Amino acid sequence: MTALAALALWGLGVDYALAQAAFVATWAIAGLGVVLIVGQCGQVSLGQGALLGLGAYAQAVLALRGVPAPLSLPLALALGAAGGWLASLPARRLGGLYFAMSTLAFALVVEEALVRWESLTRGAAGLAVPPLMLGGWVADTSLAQALVACVALGLAWLACRRWLASRLGRAWRAVREDEIAAAAAGIDVARAKTLAFVLGGGLSGLAGALYAHWIGFVSPEQFGLMLSFELLMLAFIGGARHLSGALWGALVVVALPQGVSLAVEHLPAGLAGAAGIETALFGAVLVVLVLLRPGGLVGSR
Amino acid sequence: MTAETLIQVLASGVATGCVYGLVALSFVLIYKATGAVSFMQGELLMLGAFVVLALHEAAGLPLAAAVVLGIAALAAFGALLERTVLRRTLGPAHLTALLLTFGLGMVMRGTVGAVPAASHAMHRLPLPFAGESVQWGGVALAAEHLAVIAATGLLAGALTLFFRRTRAGLALRACSENSDIAALMGVSVAGMHTLAWSLGAGLAAVAGVLLAPVTFVHPNMGLVALKAFPAAVLGGMASLPGALAGGVFLGVVEALAGLVLPEGAKDVVPYLLMMAVLLLFPGGFAAGLRGRP
């Protein structure tokens, strides 16, 4: 791992590596949200990308109107949490696929709303996002961005550890293993699921807000169904049963597209120019990983 | 708005709805029989349209033969995928199947997109009825819409016969109801899973061929399958006739929404409907009417 990091530093430069680290930490925050919902509580969420989008747009719109970050970041987080609550609402009484369907619907509705509400979001044209400002300090270098992202990840991690060790975490695992048995043991199953979505949504909102600053530009198609799947992949590849799975998954998801495009360059000339090759390779890697490591990279199973 | 325009809009809604319904049917068929959620039905639809196109234009087969051969090829492809990849995800973890089928869909979409002839030019399947219209009083109905409706009707009839009159159909139904008891009665559950994925792929290919005269054939045409999920939920998720009815209902509602609601609202209507149904009738419309959850 350290050898790999050293190689990346040597090959690509410190600045590039720090920028990538900021993205890895940000994706890991979003990944923690998926780990809570999917890995701990056992619910399938296909709307995580939209929750990230809510956070990103809240942050972008507020930052453009001059709202300071200590106020706008909690608001973005709250909007993500509210979105998670809303997405889980229609399927409260049912689990499994119905949850997946309602979160899928939520994601598509949010994406469409971001395109159509042009007075606020400028529609498909997108919004340019100014760098993050904390007090008088502007996070416009890679080092500052990586620092902020890592601090946020650390806080999110501590919060998640607390939740997992609490009554709530035990309730989630009980719901994951057997809903009926959990209910018989006196656990309010609907409440446990809703809380998983609210907390997971909040983490997604926070990740979205940071992501909007790092990338400097938000547009609706960044937060479509594809992102929801990428986040699901992230948690699944890393290992959804463990918090550290989010970090490993984030590393893979950030590194994979770059690895794939490197590999594409080395393909024969006739193939390299074709647009679909990257998608196909990405899909193939996903299939192979799911088949070979069904428990994720950190999973024991 | 005159009655004639209304009928024309309704006819096009029913025709689009039939395509949604067929994809929903394939989705529900696989879900009921194997418990797996397939996110690659749209890509199978797209692949079906391209295979038929390739057989007709590149290999020079007559259109009817290309259609039959293409659909058979997709059914075989579905069986092959089940035998090699999807079989390993048996069990209650539908998340595994979901991710696997999504990955496989990406591979299919990427591979077709990487073929220059497929992605760089616009294609249409030259079906004989495309572009013509049928005059009936003051109403002009597009021939391709009528053909889609007729083909869906025929297919629904054929599937009903298959499920009611053949041993394989009976075995597949038994397996969907309770695979443990079906296995005890001598049904090969693994074989039925292969059959379900194969039928599902074949149905998606049929939907692709039917959609081809209405839209262009292109690598992203599979996106239409996203409408299959609300259709399946509207139909109660576990009912084959319900899935088809849900699809047709959705197509009609969407067409009407396009008529009366502002632009863009049309695309969200299916998902808002789906969320409302999940909220009000957690078992779908049919179960809501029967009064059981």
Query: How far does the CA of residue A100 sit from the closest CA of chain B (Å)?
Result: 10
What is the rounded CA–CA span in Å between residue B73 and residue B79?
A: 10
| Type of residue at A186 | G
| B112 and A CB contact within 8 Å | yes
Query: How far does the CA of residue A143 sit from the closest CA of chain B (Å)?
Result: 35
Interface test with A, best of B275, B277, B279 (most A CBs within 10 A): B275
> Exposed, middle or buried: residue A111 (CB in 10 Å: 0-12, 13-18, 19+)?
buried
Axis crossing angle, helix A14-34 with helix A189-215, rounded to the nearest 10: 160
Query: How far does the CA of residue A106 sit from the closest CA of chain B (Å)?
Result: 7
Instruction: Please indicate whether, in this complex, the C-beta atoms of B226 and A109 are within 8 angstroms of each other.
Output: no
pLDDT at B292: 41
| B238 and A CB contact within 8 Å | no
Instruction: Please indicate whether, in this complex, the C-beta atoms of B114 and A280 are within 8 angstroms of each other.
Output: yes
Nearest CA in chain A to B31: A97
Q: Give the CB-side neighbour count of residue A63, counting CA atoms within 13 A.
A: 28
Are A260 and A281 in contact by the 8 Å Cβ rule? The answer is yes
The candidate with the shortest Cα–Cα distance to A145, out of A155, A135, A159, A131, is A131
Residues of chain A with pLDDT under 50: 301
- The Cα-based distances of A70 to A73, A132, A133 in angstroms read 6, 10, 9
| B120 and A CB contact within 8 Å | no
What is the rounded CA–CA span in Å between residue A57 and residue A129?
A: 9
Average pLDDT over residues B52-61: 86
Query: How far does the CA of residue B94 sit from the closest CA of chain A (Å)?
Result: 8
> What is the DSSP secondary structure assignment for residue B35, as one 8-state letter?
-
Per DSSP, the three-state class of B135 is strand
| Type of residue at A218 | V
> Exposed, middle or buried: residue A266 (CB in 10 Å: 0-12, 13-18, 19+)?
exposed
Instruction: Please indicate whether, in this complex, the C-beta atoms of A282 and B114 are within 8 angstroms of each other.
Output: no
B94 vs A91, A97, A102: nearest CB:
A97
| B191 and A CB contact within 8 Å | no
For the cut 50, the answer to whether the pLDDT of residue B247 exceeds it is yes
B102 vs A229, A284, A291: nearest CB:
A229
What's the pLDDT tens digit per position in B161-192?
A: 998 898 888 888 888 888 888 888 888 888 88
For the cut 90, the answer to whether the pLDDT of residue B201 exceeds it is yes
Instruction: Please indicate whether, in this complex, the C-beta atoms of B109 and A109 are within 8 angstroms of each other.
Output: no
| A291 and B CB contact within 8 Å | yes
Query: How far does the CA of residue A276 sit from the closest CA of chain B (Å)?
Result: 4
Query: How far does the CA of residue A50 sit from the closest CA of chain B (Å)?
Result: 14
Average pLDDT over residues B206-234: 85
pLDDT at B288: 47
Q: Which two tokens stand for residue A215?
A: 């990338």
Interface test with B, best of A101, A228, A241 (most B CBs within 10 A): A101
Query: How far does the CA of residue B57 sit from the closest CA of chain A (Å)?
Result: 22
The candidate with the shortest Cα–Cα distance to A18, out of A148, A189, A197, A112, is A148
Between strands B133-136 and B139-142, the pairing is antiparallel
Q: DSSP secondary structure string, B123-189?
A: B----TTTT-EEEETTEEEEHHHHHHHHHHHHHHHHHHHHHHHSHHHHHHHHHHH-HHHHHHTT--H
Nearest CA in chain A to B85: A291
What is the rounded CA–CA span in Å between residue A281 and residue A288?
A: 10
Sign of CA dihedral B119, B121, B124, B126: negative
B109 vs A98, A271, A276: nearest CB:
A276
What do you get for the CA distance between the two ends of chain A, in Å?
Answer: 22
A276 vs B114, B274, B276: nearest CB:
B114
When pLDDT is cut at 50, 70 and 90, the band that residue B144 belongs to is confident
Average pLDDT over residues B286-291: 48
| B282 and A CB contact within 8 Å | yes
Q: Which residues does A206 contact at the CB level (< 8 Å), separation at least 6?
A: A29, A55, A73, A76, A77, A80, A152, A156
What is the rounded CA–CA span in Å between residue B233 and residue B283?
A: 8
Residues of A in contact with B275 (CB under 8 A): 90, 102, 105-106, 109
Residues of B in contact with A95 (CB under 8 A): none
pLDDT at A301: 46
Q: Which two tokens stand for residue B254?
A: 């969407």
Are B15 and B215 in contact by the 8 Å Cβ rule? The answer is no
Instruction: Please indicate whether, in this complex, the C-beta atoms of B229 and A104 are within 8 angstroms of each other.
Output: yes
For the cut 60, the answer to whether the pLDDT of residue B289 exceeds it is no
> What is the DSSP secondary structure assignment for residue A138, as one 8-state letter?
E
| A114 and B CB contact within 8 Å | no
Q: DSSP secondary structure string, A19-82?
A: HHHHHHHHHHHHHHHHIIIIIIS----S-HHHHHHHHHHHHHHHHHTT--HHHHHHHHHHHHHH
Residues of A in contact with B110 (CB under 8 A): 276-283
What do you get for the CA distance between the two ends of chain B, in Å?
Answer: 40
pLDDT at B291: 42
Which residues numbered 247-286 in A keep a CB inside 8 Å of some CB on B? Answer: 271, 274-286
Nearest CA in chain B to A272: B114
Nearest CA in chain A to B88: A291
Per DSSP, the three-state class of A128 is strand
- The Cα-based distances of B9 to A23, B12, B145, B249 in angstroms read 48, 5, 11, 13
